[in-house]
A and B are shown apart, each in its own frame.
Chain A
């Protein structure tokens, strides 16, 4: 509890004792029913409990704020005193303050736990200067400084490990829950928490340019875009209070003037209106729901830029993916081996041997796939744009594309072009071919199926890659549609078509950000994959996945749906209770304490409900 809350609790306890004393006096000495002792006790309880409210009400009145919660509460209870309902006045004020206290505690707790999810600011940096440890602000760290990071501390800037080994908790930065093992020579990201060992780092970025500063900036700017429900509530709140107050005035004046009845009875009913005149439950719980949703997303390693994005996500109908780096890993690997006359292993070993000195990604992929040791060739000759000619154990081996084979008069069979084909020939005889391509991400088919289960109508791929490769990926993943050989401007045009086609729902675009900024900005929700690498992409995107794990997308959609559902529940619940209590109040069936419940009690319940958005499986 904060200091303010503790003070409030103390006030409530003291005034509640006075209130109880008043009730005891009333019970024991009924002859004093209208006597001064109990009146003094009740009024003392009222004033003690309510003085901050009364004080603020007077202050705000001078500022011209008549539709102020404090003022209306003061008016309602003072009205009860004027009607000689002393216990009512004191009881309602105490009940109101208890509710406010609960509300304050609930808001504080949830704010703290949600903020904790998003908190990754390093508090300090320990810099080694001539062997002495100097504690500095992360902003003061210079490029090349030597930093010391102890277990439990946060890495202040991006750097390289010079000494020590440790396991890093990278969950806040990448969403990855398994600790990452690091040793000398490894790069480490700022914002990660050092787990087990002391690390000595060399600073490789200033704080402003570090990963953590970029992510924080992203989170900081994320709250501005309010969801439609939030905007609706803020409009509603502006007219709700005046409307209820006017209702109260009419209720107090009209029936006694037009029909008949005691003034006191109608004024009493009108006072209950004033108690329910604060739209607090709505005003707190709806933004809190979205805030909780954003907190839950950051638990997944996903930064969502505002409530409106969650809203758009919950209506997603078409997902559009970039191929390389999103649907596929973006790394080359051997996909198929088509041997002719020799075994698969022999073919692979031969290819790896011929390419043993090559730095080409295709050659690396072949070497990685080869389980045996390559034979070192006697000579190798790289023919640019074609491949390699090597002498291995006295044989002339050719490894390269169709052009190379053609130039050497070697006939090659027709093979499916699902990636880059490397043909092999030995002493002028065709030996086989190896397909090297971009691998589909593990679990991708499952992710796409889950998206379908979440109401996605169409999974589409847009890629700049060649048609055959795109077709192969589309087939493997059972995509609904794809377009290949697209230049960035073609991607924009293609996305515009999809946007025009989808009227009810929204279109998501997920890409790794390289050259994708225009499409990210154009899509209803642009999702940048792979962290804060590309500034343009991060700026243009609405959602940033801090790692490149697209498999979290279905969970994000689920979360967005849940957030929206909870916000809607809160709106309905609060409006319903207020409407019912207003009706009961007008008819004379709602005592003032019920009105207090409709005000603060509903707020507390709605807050507790809103906090559920934070929980993700």
Chain B
């Protein structure tokens, strides 16, 4: 299942890459891509994944890389 989320104040392209790398390691995520240019991320969840729980982890990882960056859930 694919979902797209908007990112606000994603200010650094390198951070976007770091986030992408870190998000891809979260279990329950098949593939994730963070687009600095479009300020959004696309996450492909595994079947039967607990989206809310995973998104909690995703937000945590994003804040670790860029504290100002906000995810529109």
Binding site for B on A (CB under 8 A): 4, 56, 59-60, 63-65, 69, 104, 107, 111, 114-115, 220-221, 223-224, 226, 234, 237-238, 241, 278-280, 283-284, 287-288, 291
Contacts and interface: CB of A to CB of B under 8 A. Distances in A.
Contact of A237 (B11, B17, B38, B65): B17
Interface in B8-44: 9, 11-14, 16-18, 20-21, 33, 35-40, 42
A291 B12 contact: no
A192 B64 CA distance: 42
B33 A280 contact: no
17 contacts: A4-B9, A63-B65, A111-B37, A221-B2, A221-B4, A223-B33, A224-B33, A234-B17, A237-B14, A237-B17, A241-B14, A278-B14, A280-B13, A283-B14, A283-B36, A287-B37, A291-B37
Nearest to A111: B37
The list of the 6 closest CB pairs from A to B, nearest first, reads: A284-B13, A283-B13, A291-B37, A63-B64, A223-B35, A234-B17
B4 A220 contact: yes
A69 B14 contact: yes
Contacts of B35: 223, 287
Contacts of B11: 104
Contacts, number: 60
A220 B40 CA distance: 10
Contacts of B20: 234
Given A234-B17, A279-B14, A283-B13, A226 B37 contact: no
Contacts of B16: 283
Given A60-B67, A283-B13, 16 more contacts: A64-B64, A65-B18, A65-B65, A107-B13, A111-B38, A111-B39, A220-B4, A223-B33, A226-B33, A234-B17, A234-B21, A238-B17, A280-B13, A283-B16, A287-B35, A287-B36
A378 B54 CA distance: 78
Contacts of A237: 14, 17
Contacts of B40: 223
A283 B37 contact: no
Interface residues of B, number: 23
A288 B17 contact: no
Given A223-B33, A291-B37, A283 B17 contact: yes
Nearest to B14: A283
Nearest to B33: A224
Nearest to B17: A234
Given A221-B42, A223-B35, A238-B21, A287 B13 contact: yes
A35 B17 CA distance: 45
A291 B37 CA distance: 7
Contacts of A111: 37-39
Contact of A288 (B4, B14, B37): B37
Contact of B42 (A64, A69, A223, A283): A223
Majority DSSP secondary structure for residues of B touching A = mixed
A60 B65 CA distance: 7
A223 B33 CA distance: 9
Contacts of B12: 69, 280
A434 B20 CA distance: 64
Contacts of A288: 37
Contacts of B21: 234, 238
Contacts of A224: 33, 42
B67 A65 contact: no
A278 B12 CA distance: 11
A291 B9 CA distance: 19
A56 B36 contact: no
A287 B20 CA distance: 14
Nearest to A241: B14
Contacts of B4: 220-221
A223 B39 CA distance: 11
A224 B44 CA distance: 10
B17 A56 contact: no
B5 to A, nearest CB: 11
Contact of B38 (A104, A223, A280, A283): A223
A581 to B, nearest CB: 18
Nearest to B9: A4
Contact of A65 (B17, B36, B39, B64): B64
Nearest to B36: A287
A7 to B, nearest CB: 13
Contacts of B36: 283-284, 287
A1 B72 CA distance: 23
A114 B37 CA distance: 10
Contacts of A234: 17, 20-21
Contacts of B37: 111, 114, 223, 287-288, 291
Contacts of B2: 221
B67 A280 contact: no
Nearest to B2: A221
A64 B9 CA distance: 21
B43 to A, nearest CB: 10
Contacts of A291: 37-38
Contacts of A56: 67
B6 to A, nearest CB: 11
A221 B40 CA distance: 11
A224 B35 CA distance: 8
A479 B13 CA distance: 46
A114 B4 CA distance: 19
A279 B67 CA distance: 20
Q: Which of B4, B11, B12, B18 has the most CB of A within 10 A?
A: B12
Contacts of B39: 111
Contacts of A278: 14
B10 to A, nearest CB: 11
A4 B65 CA distance: 19
A452 B21 CA distance: 41
A114 B12 CA distance: 18
A567 B18 CA distance: 21
Interface in B29-72: 33, 35-40, 42, 64-65, 67
Contacts of B67: 56, 59-60
Nearest to A306: B33
A289 to B, nearest CB: 10
Contacts of A65: 18, 64-65
